[in-house]
Amino acid sequence: MASKGKVCLAYSGGLDTSTILKWLLDQNYEVVCFLADVGQEEDWDQVRSKAAAIGATKMVITDLRREFVEELCFPAIQCNAIYEGRYLLGTSLARPVIARAQMKVAAEEGCQFVSHGCTGKGNDQVRFELAFLTIDPKIKIIAPWRMPEFFERFQGRNDLLDYAASTGIPVTSTKAKPYSMDDNIAHCSYESGQLEDPSKPPPTDMWTRTDDPMTAPATPQDIQIHFEKGIPVKLTTEGKEITDSLELFIALNAIGKLHGIGRIDIVENRYVGIKSRGCYDSPAMTILRDAHLDIEGLVMDGKVRALRDQFVTHAWSEILYNGLYFSPEREFVQNSLVFSQKSVNGEVRMRCYRGNVFILGRSSETEKLYSEEESSMDSLVDFSPVDTTGFININAIRLKKYGQAKLEAGEGLGTK
Amino acid sequence: MASKGKVCLAYSGGLDTSTILKWLLDQNYEVVCFLADVGQEEDWDQVRSKAAAIGATKMVITDLRREFVEELCFPAIQCNAIYEGRYLLGTSLARPVIARAQMKVAAEEGCQFVSHGCTGKGNDQVRFELAFLTIDPKIKIIAPWRMPEFFERFQGRNDLLDYAASTGIPVTSTKAKPYSMDDNIAHCSYESGQLEDPSKPPPTDMWTRTDDPMTAPATPQDIQIHFEKGIPVKLTTEGKEITDSLELFIALNAIGKLHGIGRIDIVENRYVGIKSRGCYDSPAMTILRDAHLDIEGLVMDGKVRALRDQFVTHAWSEILYNGLYFSPEREFVQNSLVFSQKSVNGEVRMRCYRGNVFILGRSSETEKLYSEEESSMDSLVDFSPVDTTGFININAIRLKKYGQAKLEAGEGLGTK
Amino acid sequence: MASKGKVCLAYSGGLDTSTILKWLLDQNYEVVCFLADVGQEEDWDQVRSKAAAIGATKMVITDLRREFVEELCFPAIQCNAIYEGRYLLGTSLARPVIARAQMKVAAEEGCQFVSHGCTGKGNDQVRFELAFLTIDPKIKIIAPWRMPEFFERFQGRNDLLDYAASTGIPVTSTKAKPYSMDDNIAHCSYESGQLEDPSKPPPTDMWTRTDDPMTAPATPQDIQIHFEKGIPVKLTTEGKEITDSLELFIALNAIGKLHGIGRIDIVENRYVGIKSRGCYDSPAMTILRDAHLDIEGLVMDGKVRALRDQFVTHAWSEILYNGLYFSPEREFVQNSLVFSQKSVNGEVRMRCYRGNVFILGRSSETEKLYSEEESSMDSLVDFSPVDTTGFININAIRLKKYGQAKLEAGEGLGTK
Amino acid sequence: MASKGKVCLAYSGGLDTSTILKWLLDQNYEVVCFLADVGQEEDWDQVRSKAAAIGATKMVITDLRREFVEELCFPAIQCNAIYEGRYLLGTSLARPVIARAQMKVAAEEGCQFVSHGCTGKGNDQVRFELAFLTIDPKIKIIAPWRMPEFFERFQGRNDLLDYAASTGIPVTSTKAKPYSMDDNIAHCSYESGQLEDPSKPPPTDMWTRTDDPMTAPATPQDIQIHFEKGIPVKLTTEGKEITDSLELFIALNAIGKLHGIGRIDIVENRYVGIKSRGCYDSPAMTILRDAHLDIEGLVMDGKVRALRDQFVTHAWSEILYNGLYFSPEREFVQNSLVFSQKSVNGEVRMRCYRGNVFILGRSSETEKLYSEEESSMDSLVDFSPVDTTGFININAIRLKKYGQAKLEAGEGLGTK
């Protein structure tokens, strides 16, 4: 029987994607497996050998850590990106680089199809597929967990294990974690399973990228982060300086892990309209975001900041969360973001201690918007207090009319 | 010589306002002193006797704590109010209730003037005076620190001390703090003086509303906060339940103080266009804001939340910061805010530990937007995975055109 | 064979929905037909007799004109609603009342299904079905134009005509218009067919709700519209006064028709991501929107207006366009809208002439924000020009720092 | 007596600025006069000779028309700029080029001061002075209409005429217009005087840049405007092609004048919080804005457009109106604006007729977002109708929960 064509499958070595790999081969597809290294913990050799054992034509593993950090994580920091006030978008940030690399492999290997193991209710399927279809509008997608012939056949973990047993898929562990994880250099996410009850705290041994803040070192660690155009370019701590972007990020992850920084536990609104509970630990991202917020206070114009906060931060975060990195609106918003960061130059000193990042101080050699003289309540150099009277009076013109109208309506504002 | 009229002076008992009180009397004004109790630490009797000693006709002290908490702090919590990503607005929140109470005293005492000791470069003069003028468009304001005859005469602390000595103003302490403080039940603020160098950390003994997180108890404290329509209505901790709004707020301040929760150190943009460095500790507000953000995740519609975040939260915070509480735009925005909170009912359990507030879980007896069944990746009840394919494909129509145009322009998105 | 159940079908009497009616009957459904009277031109009796002839159990026609005008068109006017800067949303506005009435009939008649004749690429299917599913989450929808067994069978007009001929469906006219129309009291829309070439003007005889502006009367007509809380409550013209909402709207349609007011021809972005060309004539809506914009200038606070323009107008329009009238976000936004209109009381005088609506003047008996005295450049009553100096200087603090930085960077703003 | 220094005065030759010129000379300033040619009607030679006659050291007249059109008017068109839904910002747009040119003259002539004749209640003083102070933070400003020694002396037109008579200022006409005008190539504005009663229409002979639409030619004129990156680059009409920016703008002004296009009469909110009534006629700007809005429909991505509409259009318009052209926020917003226009390439055909600009059609040779095939309701090429079912169902997930909650609360959405 002739091959139905060639598929590039996002393959993690786990039970789900191993089943999909085998199932695709059964369906008479040729399969090239792809795995992105975005900094997750992984036994790469085991993945390679499993793919081969099951029958993949090829297993491509690509190290995307540097482009992930530089192209996605750093813009998120420039943006102070945050979803629904709390989530630092770790998973969303990884998807664009992974999807792009998978599409590159698909193109290089001559695949007509791409496939993945995302479930039908989550955000990731949307993020991956919108990226696939935007990168190559002609690519065909096989999403088994949305195909009745697949999801009706494999209705639970036992069905997958039975299939593995019967088809010789090597299974590493028959015991699944009681929740699902997605790890990358920006964070590890935990959801589903026992976490689906939002009233219960997660198991204490769940977190992988942060140690328990309550048993973190009693001695704090001071660090200094230097920004250029909103990008962290130097980390100084314990007598060392790190300037390489990837190394800097990894070092901050290590510091944040040690001091238990960056855990959140939230209920969020998925793009598909479902609420879900997620836990995330994002040490480096948390420290960098705090540092960036702080340096912006010193060096960024207040009005530009207000416009950026209201439009760029919100829009960029939502766009990324919804999987629209490859879109005209992301390009549009990011152009604004980059422009807003021209003057974000300077350094922040911080203290890491048991879940906290305390700001110790900040300074900038190049930016001059802050002036001690001007800021000082005691100095009248270059400042005429009489001006403020005029400022207040002009601002009051409109308000006095409002107050007067309230008085006349018998709703005077002065009486509670 | 005939009196120039009657002034209601915001009088704190400190050197500045004592000087203003004496100076107004010298100018032949009659002066009624007013002091708001918004929860600050104060020796009320001493203030009373100083006012009398200097020559005030009357000293009115009003306890505004409850209306401050209920009318300002709680809406701020409903709003997740925050200025420039970090400041919880403690000072700004107190100003409206103080200004209103002062205007009430002015009206009751038949004053034609109100006066205060705010400096000419700060936010507070703007906040107070816009409130005064809106509440009573005919009120006249005496702002000595913006009047050349005053500020040219009193050019530094020594001039004030000399004047006090020569006119018999009782001076409690001749040594000023090396920074200025403003305390109320929502927070204590610290700025000016030695804090004007933003690169240096504040003195470790500065903070008054929070103990040092590093020496806070090693044993965490668990608390539970219940919200109705976004308002905290019950605090449960260590076997006690508190439902009175003011008591609840005071209890959270005590808990937050003990566990070192709610310190920030920032550089912010004042309304008058000057950058300034401020430190703030806001224990109850910090805990409540975290709790409120969390319960909203569980019970608030995602789209309403996105609109509220982008418009209401930003606008309300800026309006309050800029002293525009008494304004048509605040009324307009708060109407939206209140509406958005109809379903914000439920409770959050949290753990307080050394500067941290960890979420332990949340639940709601009345709201049903979250569903474990629906959220579950393992369940297909009431969910057709095939639908997501359509959702993605329709969303991709526009994006495929974008991707195609990029390809044709030789700027394919798939190549980095 | 047992009935598959009962369907409430939106039935217009045209070829498409007649085919669907017959096809549903063929599929062994019982069908109740529903037609909303939203002010369109229609031969109601003919529709009734066709439905009966084809085999409908019942034909329900409901006059929704008043609730359409009061509940949808008037809020749109209060909102200055507009999509993409030009479209007054006529079709979108009708959908909620139609969907609600259809669901009411479905409930009354015990139907398990609702059905409609919308095509699979348009906005209307989305608007109707989101409304259906929100009103009754358990309702089942039959959308034949998205069902392969239907759309593959009926691939063009000829297939429909053949089916009609073979099954005895009465066909009024065998010649289709070269474009499709959707008429209601707010507007008539024209799209598809020959209009799909956006570079060509529409046929001159296409417009039905407006006469040709170029041959409209040479004599203008003056009208006066009175608003209360942003709602038009009285129309005065040619010695007549109309206060009934529906009559007022109909009268304005007649005036606008006569004078050729309210035609647009645009390319818009559909919710499903497709661009389409549409022509719309909306006489009453156009006149009312202009009048409302004008009265707001006189009576609405400037800051409230700016916030309303940026958030409410944009959001409400997009929500309606996308078919989300029955949604928490529409409720949320409309609550703001209504609040913003409290002071929108007054009257506007206008002149209608060949496509134009010229403003002749406006006034308000109750609102006092406008003051000739205050506005006058010649009067200094209650105004101290010196204040403006302070206003400017304080606003300049931040800007001078920007200018200075530019100078130091050698990018002085004074040189082009 | 020694000179107090050198002043660069914005001098128009009118009674006000002639008085200021003379008064400045009386105060012992040396005065260089400056007049910007921004396209207004003016007797340039008469201005020159009056300045000399009164005693100005020099009279500099600079033609700024091209930079005004290219640097301000065209970005306003790219932006669809509009203030409060109706005002095309003609005056605001001219201020930045005038202020910059005046500051250049001041620098070249060694002036320590700049001066102008703006009144103390208007927008223009703010616009000019913020520009002056940003361009050169050290410049000193003399604003006589805000100086008590000036405005108390000259309390009405008669005082000015008396002063002119007594000091030999040549007065062209002793009869003032019953309103004030400000003319430039973008528009002419009319305000104050008899226009201060907003309930009365302006005099019919007031308008200068537009002929009466009711007596405009009975024969319409068709034109075609070609855009590149949102900038009009070619005008074709009556067999002529114009590509020079200034000529194109002037030609559109002539066409618009002839056909009575671009008059508005509004009540607006000034930056200083006062409402004022203004009339404006802006022929070229009106035609260009309509054309630009139209071409964007064809070629701009829908999401980018929505973001641009909500943020850029609103913010840019408000920034310009408030006189903040020279500001970091304008730079920030304009960077977004320019980016948004990359694909705004194509041409629009329009018909000008008695106050109306009808769109006849639009097309683009380079942009492909619009597709007749895709748009067509009759074609299913590359479109699977089944997808829309999924799109709707996924969008309905959240809404069904809302509808269900309403049902359970007894507030079912299906009953009016």
For the residues D117-133, what does the mean pLDDT come to? 93
Active site residues of B: 16, 95, 124, 180
Strands D275-281 and B5-10: unpaired
Does residue C45 carry a catalytic annotation? no
Examine the domain organization and report whether D236 and D97 are in the same domain.
no
Residues 371-400 of C with CB under 8 A from A: 371, 374, 384, 386-395, 397-398
Examine the domain organization and report whether A397 and A278 are in the same domain.
no
C-alpha to C-alpha distance for B260 and D221, rounded to whole angstroms: 75
Which of A12, A16, A294, A362 does the annotation list as catalytic?
A16
Residue-averaged pLDDT of chain A: 95
In a domain, D125, yes or no: yes
Task: Say whether residue B119 is in contact with chain C using an 8 A CB cutoff.
Answer: no
Distance from CA of B54 to the nearest CA of A (A): 25
Nearest residue of B to residue D387, measured between CA atoms: B390
Q: Phi then psi for A6, rounded to 5 degrees?
A: -115, 135
> Inter-chain contact A146–B324, Cβ cutoff 8 Å?
no
Among A314, A383, A387, most C C-beta atoms within 10 A, so best to mutate, is A387
In a domain, D318, yes or no: no
Query: Structural domain of residue B285, as residue ranges?
Result: 181-300+343-363
- Residues in chain B with CB shorter than 8 Å from the CB of C333 are 307
Q: What is the pTM of this model?
A: 0.96
Examine the domain organization and report whether A233 and A348 are in the same domain.
yes
Task: Say whether residue C329 is in contact with chain B using an 8 A CB cutoff.
Answer: yes
In a domain, C224, yes or no: yes
Distance from CA of C369 to the nearest CA of A (A): 6
> Inter-chain contact C327–B303, Cβ cutoff 8 Å?
yes
For the residues C233-245, what does the mean pLDDT come to? 97
Which of C48, C65, C100, C124 does the annotation list as catalytic?
C124
Examine the domain organization and report whether C187 and C86 are in the same domain.
no
> Inter-chain contact D397–A335, Cβ cutoff 8 Å?
no
In a domain, D138, yes or no: yes
Examine the domain organization and report whether D127 and D206 are in the same domain.
no
Q: How many contacts does A have with D, using Cβ atoms within 8 A?
A: 68
Task: Say whether residue A273 is in contact with chain D using an 8 A CB cutoff.
Answer: yes
- Residues in chain A with CB shorter than 8 Å from the CB of B103 are 414
Task: Say whether residue C153 is in contact with chain D using an 8 A CB cutoff.
Answer: no
Subunit partners of chain D (3 or more CB pairs within 8 A): A, B, C
What pLDDT was estimated at residue A205?
95
Quote the percentage of chain A above a pLDDT of 90.
87
Examine the domain organization and report whether A106 and A247 are in the same domain.
no
Which of A12, A48, A65, A95 does the annotation list as catalytic?
A95
Which of A92, A100, A124, A281 does the annotation list as catalytic?
A124
Least CB-CB distance to A395: which of D273, D307, D335? D273
Residue-averaged pLDDT of chain D: 95
Does residue A387 carry a catalytic annotation? no
Q: What is the pLDDT along chain B (416 residues), one digit of tens a residue?
A: 689 999 999 999 999 999 999 999 999 999 999 999 999 999 999 999 999 999 999 999 999 999 999 999 999 999 999 999 999 999 999 999 999 999 999 999 999 999 999 988 889 999 999 999 999 999 999 999 999 999 999 998 899 999 999 999 998 776 778 999 999 999 999 999 999 999 999 999 999 999 999 999 999 999 999 999 999 999 999 999 999 999 999 999 999 999 999 999 999 999 989 999 999 999 999 999 999 999 999 999 999 999 999 999 999 999 999 999 999 999 999 999 999 999 999 999 999 999 999 999 999 999 999 988 888 877 777 888 889 999 999 999 999 989 998 899 898 888 76
Q: How many contacts does A have with C, using Cβ atoms within 8 A?
A: 62
Least CB-CB distance to C304: which of B332, B339, B340? B332
- The pLDDT tens digits of the residues spanning D169-178 come to 998 776 778 9
Examine the domain organization and report whether D25 and D117 are in the same domain.
yes
- Residues in chain C with CB shorter than 8 Å from the CB of B335 are 335-336, 339
SS (H, E, C) chain B: CCCCEEEEEECCCCHHHHHHHHHHHHCCEEEEEEEEECCCCCCHHHHHHHHHHHCCCEEEEEECHHHHHHHHHHHHHHHCCCECCCECCHHHHHHHHHHHHHHHHHHHCCCCEEECCCCCCCCHHHHHHHHHHHHCCCCEEECHHHCHHHHCCCCCHHHHHHHHHHHCCCCCCCCCCCCEEEECCCCEEEECHHHHCCCCCCCCCCCCCCCCHHHCCCCCEEEEEEEECCEEEEEEECCEEECCHHHHHHHHHHHHHHCCCCEEEEEEECCCCCEEEEEEECHHHHHHHHHHHHHHHHHCCHHHHHHHHHHHHHHHHHHHHCCCCCCHHHHHHHHHHHHHCCCCCEEEEEEEECCEEEEEEEECCCCCCCCHHHHCCCCCCCCCHHHHHHHHHHHHHHHHHHHHHHHHCCCCCCCC
| Residue A243 clears pLDDT 90, i.e. is over it | yes
Does residue D115 carry a catalytic annotation? no
First and final CA of chain A: distance in angstroms? 84
Top pLDDT among C374 and A210 is at: A210
> Inter-chain contact C393–A401, Cβ cutoff 8 Å?
no
- Residues in chain A with CB shorter than 8 Å from the CB of C386 are 390
C-alpha to C-alpha distance for D211 and D259, rounded to whole angstroms: 7
Strand order in the sheet with C231-237: C240-242, C231-237, C221-228, C346-353, C356-363
Residue-averaged pLDDT of chain C: 95
| Residue C362 clears pLDDT 90, i.e. is over it | yes
- Residues in chain D with CB shorter than 8 Å from the CB of C192 are 376-378
| Residue C307 clears pLDDT 80, i.e. is over it | yes
Angle at C329 between CA C323 and CA C331, to 5 degrees: 95
Among D343, D373, D401, most B C-beta atoms within 10 A, so best to mutate, is D401
Examine the domain organization and report whether A392 and A357 are in the same domain.
no
| Residue C335: closest CA among C314, C301, C312 | C312
C-alpha to C-alpha distance for D255 and D352, rounded to whole angstroms: 8
- The pLDDT tens digits of the residues spanning C344-358 come to 999 999 999 999 999
For the residues C93-119, what does the mean pLDDT come to? 97
pLDDT band for A416, please (50, 70, 90 cuts): low
Q: Is D142 helix (H, G, I), strand (E, B) or coil?
A: strand
Q: Is residue D125 within 8 Å of D222, Cβ to Cβ?
A: no
For the residues C293-320, what does the mean pLDDT come to? 97
- The pLDDT tens digits of the residues spanning D77-110 come to 999 999 999 999 999 999 999 999 999 999 999 9
- Of the residues A133, A153, A176, the one at which a domain ends: A176
- Residues in chain C with CB shorter than 8 Å from the CB of B399 are 273
Among D62, D87, D135, most C C-beta atoms within 10 A, so best to mutate, is D135
SS (H, E, C) D228-289: ECCEEEEEEECCEEECCHHHHHHHHHHHHHHCCCCEEEEEEECCCCCEEEEEEECHHHHHHH
- Of the residues D132, D154, D176, the one at which a domain ends: D176
Examine the domain organization and report whether C157 and C247 are in the same domain.
no
Q: What is the DSSP string of A142-166?
A: E-GGG-HHHHTT--SHHHHHHHHHH
The amino acid sitting at C345 is N
What pLDDT was estimated at residue A1?
65
Least CB-CB distance to B199: which of A133, A362, A385? A362
> Inter-chain contact A397–D274, Cβ cutoff 8 Å?
yes
Nearest residue of D to residue C388, measured between CA atoms: D120
Maximum CA extent, chain B:
90
Task: Say whether residue A317 is in contact with chain D using an 8 A CB cutoff.
Answer: no
Examine the domain organization and report whether C288 and C239 are in the same domain.
yes
Task: Say whether residue D165 is in contact with chain C using an 8 A CB cutoff.
Answer: no
> Inter-chain contact B377–A67, Cβ cutoff 8 Å?
no
Nearest residue of B to residue A149, measured between CA atoms: B386
Distance from CA of D263 to the nearest CA of B (A): 31
Instruction: Determine whether D354 is exposed, middle or buried from the number of CB atoms within 10 Å of its CB (0-12, 13-18, 19+).
Output: buried
In a domain, A316, yes or no: no
In a domain, D394, yes or no: yes
Examine the domain organization and report whether D353 and D385 are in the same domain.
no
- Of the residues A122, A145, A176, the one at which a domain ends: A176
What pLDDT was estimated at residue B373?
83
| Residue C190: closest CA among C201, C286, C43 | C201
Q: How many contacts does A have with B, using Cβ atoms within 8 A?
A: 322
Which of D95, D127, D330, D362 does the annotation list as catalytic?
D95
Q: Is residue C378 within 8 Å of A375, Cβ to Cβ?
A: no
In a domain, C76, yes or no: yes
Examine the domain organization and report whether D111 and D230 are in the same domain.
no
Does residue C95 carry a catalytic annotation? yes
Q: Enter the tokens of residue B94.
A: 């107190």
> Inter-chain contact C276–D200, Cβ cutoff 8 Å?
no
Which of C12, C48, C92, C95 does the annotation list as catalytic?
C95
- The pLDDT tens digits of the residues spanning C328-341 come to 999 999 999 999 99
C-alpha to C-alpha distance for B355 and B260, rounded to whole angstroms: 5
Which of A180, A192, A245, A336 does the annotation list as catalytic?
A180
Domains: count for chain D: 3
**ipTM score of complex:** 0.96
> Inter-chain contact D307–A335, Cβ cutoff 8 Å?
no
Task: Say whether residue A307 is in contact with chain D using an 8 A CB cutoff.
Answer: yes
- What's the CATH number where B274 sits? 3.90.1260.10
In a domain, A327, yes or no: no
- Residues in chain D with CB shorter than 8 Å from the CB of B302 are 398
Residues 120-149 of A with CB under 8 A from B: 120-122, 125-126, 129-130, 133-137, 143, 145-148
For the residues A387-402, what does the mean pLDDT come to? 91
What pLDDT was estimated at residue C1?
65
- What's the CATH number where A22 sits? 3.40.50.620
Least CB-CB distance to B273: which of C329, C331, C398? C398
Centre a 10 Å sphere on the Cβ of residue D44 and count the other Cβ atoms it contains: 12
What pLDDT was estimated at residue D153?
95
Residues in chain D: 416
C-alpha to C-alpha distance for D131 and D136, rounded to whole angstroms: 8
Q: Phi then psi for B82, rounded to 5 degrees?
A: -160, 140
Least CB-CB distance to C307: which of B273, B333, B398? B333
C-alpha to C-alpha distance for A350 and D92, rounded to whole angstroms: 46
